[in-house]
Amino acid sequence: MQPPAIRTSQLTKRYGPLFALDDLDLTVAAGEVFGFLGPNGAGKSTAIRLLLGLARPTAGRAWIFGIDAADVATAHRRIAYVPADVTLWPQLTGAEILELLGATGPGVDRAYRDELVARFELDLSKPARAYSTGNRQKVALVAAFATRAPLLVLDEPTSGLDPLMEREFRRAVAEVRDSGRTVFLSSHQLAEVEAVCDRVGILRAGRLVDVATMPELRRLRRTEVLVRFAGPAPDLTGVEGVDGVQVDGPALRFTLTGPPGPAMRALAAADVTTLTMREPTLEEIFLDYYGESGR
């Protein structure tokens, strides 16, 4: 059986008294697109640095396809990495940089790279010093997507991209998945994670608070229901899964957890004119996790 793309065991990084990453146990299967969500300072970049062997863990270990992450020379043959702040060699052109990055990695699919350059509308003739933040990010992304590396580690890769390019990014991630490769994507952008990931890990103050599939994550929150009615208000007292009932003239709101059957049966007794159900966004779910607290 193929080892997981990423495995960590009790992975911990302390800076003085601060646990930047605290006891992380995580497994990302080969072929998965895994999202790593957390507010600023939660420890996402620290975890990525440990996976890449750019920092040494205070305790615990990490493996990339079964290879100890500390064995950088071997592990990096399987990794393409896009950092949060892309810095490029200012005097080299985009084309020269793609060549250089391609030569140091585990091999490049050149035809696919050319296609990506066109799709991301990159002008490769310019020196990197003339690139905007978004263009630097695009160069690094194209280089990573076009490698044959089985694992792509992307640290907030779309912060500088406009919506059109964001769409290309999502397409490229889907293509990576279709080719059987693995993506580990740290992000603040919930819509992006929702669009491209199979599972998501949620990090808060250095600790992994949950790992969930997208449907599981959405189920953590309730559905908000708005009912408009004629005649007497529906009676939802004591109905399973119903909470926070508010009647406001001919409208009634409540929140619903679990299956909707009991609430629907109770509503059927009234003269309901419209029924609106709203799924919470991932943003709202996310806020539920973090509430008011910062790190």
Ligand X SMILES: Nc1ncnc2c1ncn2[C@@H]1O[C@H](COP(=O)(O)OP(=O)(O)OP(=O)(O)O)[C@@H](O)[C@H]1O
Provide the binding-site residues for ligand X, judged by CB under 6 A. 15, 18, 20, 38, 40-46, 295
At its nearest, how many Å lie between ligand X and the CB of residue 47?
7
At its nearest, how many Å lie between ligand X and the CB of residue 46?
3
Q: Which is nearer to ligand X, 190 or 225 (CB)?
A: 190
At its nearest, how many Å lie between ligand X and the CB of residue 171?
25
Q: Which is nearer to ligand X, 201 or 234 (CB)?
A: 201
**Cα distance between residue 133 and residue 161, in whole Å:** 9
Q: Which is nearer to ligand X, 4 or 38 (CB)?
A: 38
At its nearest, how many Å lie between ligand X and the CB of residue 275?
40
At its nearest, how many Å lie between ligand X and the CB of residue 209?
13
Q: Which is nearer to ligand X, 206 or 234 (CB)?
A: 206
At its nearest, how many Å lie between ligand X and the CB of residue 108?
28
Q: Tell me how far CA of residue 81 lies from CA of 25, 53, 137, 151, 155, in angstroms.
A: 21, 12, 11, 9, 8
Q: Which is nearer to ligand X, 18 or 275 (CB)?
A: 18
Q: Which is nearer to ligand X, 93 or 186 (CB)?
A: 186
